Structure 1
Amino acid sequence: METRNSRKMAALVAAFAFGVSVAHGQLPAGSSINIAPGTGQTLGSITVNDPGNHVWLLQTSTNLTAWTGVDTWKIHNGNYHLSLSRVGSGPGLFYRAIYDETQQTILSTTANALLLPGTNFNYAAPVLPPNFLTAPIINQDNTPATNVVTDPGATLGRVLFYDKRLSTNQTVSCSSCHVAKYGFSDPNRFSTGFNGSKGTRHAMGLSNARYYQRGHFFWDERAATLEDQVLQPIQNPIEMGMTIPALLPRLAAEPFYTNLFTKAFGTPDVTSDRVSRALAQFVRSIISTKSKYDDGVASGFANFTAQERLGRQIFLGQVGNATCAACHGTDNFVPGPVANNNGLEFPYVDTGIGGVTGRAQDMGLFKVPSLRNIELTAPYMHDGRFATLEEVVEFYNSGVVNNPNLSPPLRTPPGQPPGALRLNLTTAQKAALVAFLKTLTDTSITTDEKFLDPFNYGN
C-alpha cells in the first residue's frame, strides 16, 4: 500500500475488489471519509463529510502505485456523495479521495453549489383557496408591508435556511431542527445544537407561521416579529453559536451568496437585515392548503369517513363539550389575538410568556401554533412531553391542570363547580378526534422541491 504521509495531503484508498480500505495522512479538521463497497458488479460509493467545505481530488489506480485523476469536486455544504463507476481494466480497481491544501482553487458558485431552477419557484403568489383570501384568515397574516414575500427573496431564504455556515462550526442549519418531512419540526423532544448540547423546548412546526395573528414568535413570544425570530437561533449559544459580525463576511465570501443577494435586494451587500428578511420570507412561504381537510371544505366534507366527521364535530363542540376550536380556530387552526394557558402543570416549571414579561397573569401562557400537519410534528407541547396524538387527546380529555391562569375555554362552564374542564370522551370519540386531526396532514409541503434542501451534494 502507498504510504504517503504529507502534512498537506490526506487520502483514503478503497480496494473494492478485495473489500479493503485504508486511510492515512491528515484530513481537514472535523472531516471524515466513509466507504460503502458495492456488491457484485457494483463498485460502491464514497461519502466525504467536511464542514470546512474543501476541494477534494478523486483518483483511481489498478496497482496502488500509478494514480490517474478522475474528478475534482468542491464540497458546498458539509458533505459530498459519489457513486463510483469502473475506470480502466484489470483484476483490481482502487479509488482514493485526496485533500490537498495547495489545490483549493474551486469556488462555490450558484451553478455548482446549488440545484436551483432557471426560473425561480413561485413563492410570491401561491395559489390559495378562497377561504384564505377573506376574513378571518386574511386578517391573521403577519407579513409586514416592509417585507412582502418575493421569489428571489424566498429563494435566498431557502438557501440560508439549509446552510450550515450559519452555525459557528458549520455543522447545523435551521433545517437541522426544522425538518421538512416532519412538518418542519424536530422528531426529537429537544434539538441538538452545534456542540451537542440540548435545548429545553421542542422545535415547533413551521406550517402556516405566516398566519399567526399575534405576530410574535417562539413558545414564549419573546421575538416581536418573524424577522426578529430568525436571527436569534443563529446567535443562541446552545443552538448555532454564531455571531452576526462573524456570519456576514463568511456569507459574503461565497460567490453564490453575492449573486443571490443581488437578485433579491439589488446589490451584493450581505447585511443582517437582509439575512433576516430573506429567512422570514422563506418561512412565510411554507403554506399548507392541500390536506384532506382542505379538499373537504368545498364539498361539505363528503370526502371524510364517518369517524373523521365525528371527530370534526367533537373538535367544533357539536358533539360533547370539547372546546378545541376556541384556541385553534378558522381553517388555519390557530388562535386569534390571545395567548393561552392550557393547564399543562401547576406550579409552573416553565413560565412561558410570563418568564419574559414578568407579569403574574402571563405565567404559564404559551404561543399556540397551527394544528396543520400536527400528525407529522410529534412530540407535542412546548416541552415535547407527549409522544403521540392519542396522549394529547387524553390530556385534554382528563388531564388539564387547574391553575390561576388557565384559559377560559378549559375551565368548567358556569353552574358547575369551578375547576378544569373534563371532556369525558368515550374510547371511540377519542379515536375519532385523532382521526380528524390527521386530516390536517399536507405532505405536499414536505415533498415540494421549492421547500427542500437546494445544495449540491454530488449524486
Structure 2
Amino acid sequence: MQTLPILALAAAAMLAGPAFADKVPLPTAADRQWQLPAVPMPGDNASTPARVALGKALFFDPRLSGNGATSCASCHNPSLGWSDGLKTAIGMGGVVLARATPTIVNTAFNTQFMWDGRKKSLEDQALGPMKAADEMNTDFPAVIDRLRAMPAYVTLFERAYPGEPVGEETIAKAMAAFERTVVSKDSPFDRWLAGDARAITLSQYRGFRVFADPARGNCGTCHSGPNFTDNGFHNIGLRGAGAKPDMGRFAIRPVAAMKGAFKTPTLRDIALTGPYFRDGSAATLRDVVEHYARGGDDRSNLSGDMKRLDLSEQDKSDLVAFLHALTGRRPPVTTPLLPQ
C-alpha cells in the first residue's frame, strides 16, 4: 500500500519532466558577453540635450540638401527602422543607387562606417551623404549662409557649441550627437540576459544557441558582440549584378580578400529593416538564413568565414525567431518643429 504514493510521484515526475525541460534556462555568465554597454561618447563631442536638439533639427531639415526637398530622414526613416524599406536607396532626382540604405540604429557603437568603411567616425560619416552628388548634393557654402541667416538656428548652435561657428564641423558634430541617441535596447533578448527567463520563447532561445554555435549557425563569428557586428568586411557570396560588380571594401583597401567584401551590419532591430544585404536581394529574414545555410551563391572570392551549414528546418525557423527577439522597445519619435 505504501508503494502507491511512490509510484504516483514517479509517474507525475515523468509527466512533469518534459515540461521543465521545455522552459527557457537563465543566461550563463558567458551569455552576458552579449549585453549592450553604455553608449560610447567622444571626448570632444559628448551628447548634451542642446546638441541632440540641434542635430535632430538638422537631420530632419530638407533645406540642407541641394534640391531643398531631401533630408537625412528621407532615407533614414524612423518608421522604417531608420532605413527606407527599399532594395537600394533612391538618390537625387530619383536615381536608383547601387547599395541599400543602412540603418542608423546603434551606429554609436560602430568603429567603421558606410558599407565599404570609408568613414572612420560618426561625425565624418554624417557629412558623407550630404556631400555626395547623387545623394543629398548639399551646397555647403549656401547652406551655411542660410543657417546663419536664421536667428532660431543661430541660437541652437550657440547653445550646443558655444564659441564655435556655424559650419561644417559643428553641423557634423550635432548630427552625430543626435544619431548617438538612436539606440536599440531593451529587446526581449536583452531582458532575458538581465535575468527574465520569460522574456523570450523557447524557439528564440534555441535560435540563439544555433546562432552562437560555430559548429551549427556560425553567425556569431561575424555578428559578434553586444551590437552583433565585428565591424569587419566579408564577401558573403552575393551574386554580382551587371557587367561591373560592386567591389565593396576593395575600392578602399585594394587587397584580394576585400573584393566584394562589405561591412557586417548590426542585427539589432533587424526585423524592422528589410529587405536585406547591401543589394536588398533578400526579401525576408528566412531568405537571409537560407542564403547562409547554402554557403552563399557566388563562391569566387568567398570569405573564409562562410561555409555550408547543416541546419534542420527547425533550426532555420528558430534562427528567424531569435532575430525577432533583437527588436528593442522603440520610444515614439516626433518630427521637430524646424526653425524658420
TM-score by length of structure 2 reads 0.83
Give me the whole-angstrom Cα distance separating, in 2, the residues matched to 1:177 and 1:342: 25
- Give the share of equivalent positions with the same residue, in percent: 34
Structure 1 equivalent of residue 24 of structure 2:
none
C-alpha deviation, 1:308, in angstroms: 1.1
The partner residue of 2:202 within 286, 306, 314 is: 306
1:341 to 2:239 alignment: no
Q: Equivalences for 1:180-199 in 2 at 5 Å?
A: 180-199=78-97
Structure whose CA Rg is larger: 1
Give me the whole-angstrom Cα distance separating, in 1, the residues matched to 2:158 and 2:69: 26
Kept in 2, the 8 Å contact 1:198–1:238? The answer is no
Kept in 1, the 8 Å contact 2:223–2:229? The answer is yes
C-alpha deviation, 1:408, in angstroms: 3.0
1:251 to 2:133 alignment: no
Give me the whole-angstrom Cα distance separating, in 2, the residues matched to 1:135 and 1:339: 21
C-alpha deviation, 1:166, in angstroms: 1.1
Alpha-carbon distance change, 342 to 231 in structure 1, aligned in 2, over 3 angstroms: same
C-alpha deviation, 1:269, in angstroms: 3.0
Give me the whole-angstrom Cα distance separating, in 1, the residues matched to 2:112 and 2:260: 16
AA aligned opposite 1:334:
T
Alpha-carbon distance change, 303 to 216 in structure 1, aligned in 2, over 3 angstroms: closer
C-alpha deviation, 1:360, in angstroms: 2.1
C-alpha deviation, 1:199, in angstroms: 1.3
Structure in which a larger fraction of residues adopt strand:
1
Structure 2 equivalent of residue 455 of structure 1:
337
Structure 2 equivalent of residue 440 of structure 1:
326
Structure 2 equivalent of residue 408 of structure 1:
304
The partner residue of 1:177 within 57, 75, 88 is: 75
AA aligned opposite 1:435:
A
1:266 to 2:162 alignment: yes
Structure 2 equivalent of residue 154 of structure 1:
52
C-alpha deviation, 1:150, in angstroms: 1.8
Kept in 2, the 8 Å contact 1:261–1:270? The answer is yes
AA aligned opposite 2:156:
L
Give me the whole-angstrom Cα distance separating, in 2, the residues matched to 1:136 and 1:180: 24
How many residue pairs end up in the alignment?
Answer: 307
C-alpha deviation, 1:253, in angstroms: 1.8
Q: 1:404-428 deviations in whole A, cap 9, x for unaligned? A: 6533332xxxxxxxxxx21132222
Structure 1 equivalent of residue 19 of structure 2:
none
The partner residue of 1:357 within 253, 256, 264 is: 253
Give me the whole-angstrom Cα distance separating, in 1, the residues matched to 2:221 and 2:47: 30
C-alpha deviation, 1:401, in angstroms: 3.8
Kept in 1, the 8 Å contact 2:185–2:329? The answer is no
Structure in which a larger fraction of residues adopt helix:
2
Give me the whole-angstrom Cα distance separating, in 2, the residues matched to 1:283 and 1:405: 34
AA aligned opposite 1:201:
R
1:324 to 2:219 alignment: yes
Structure 2 equivalent of residue 381 of structure 1:
277
Give me the whole-angstrom Cα distance separating, in 2, the residues matched to 1:231 and 1:248: 13
Kept in 2, the 8 Å contact 1:202–1:384? The answer is yes
Structure 2 equivalent of residue 225 of structure 1:
121
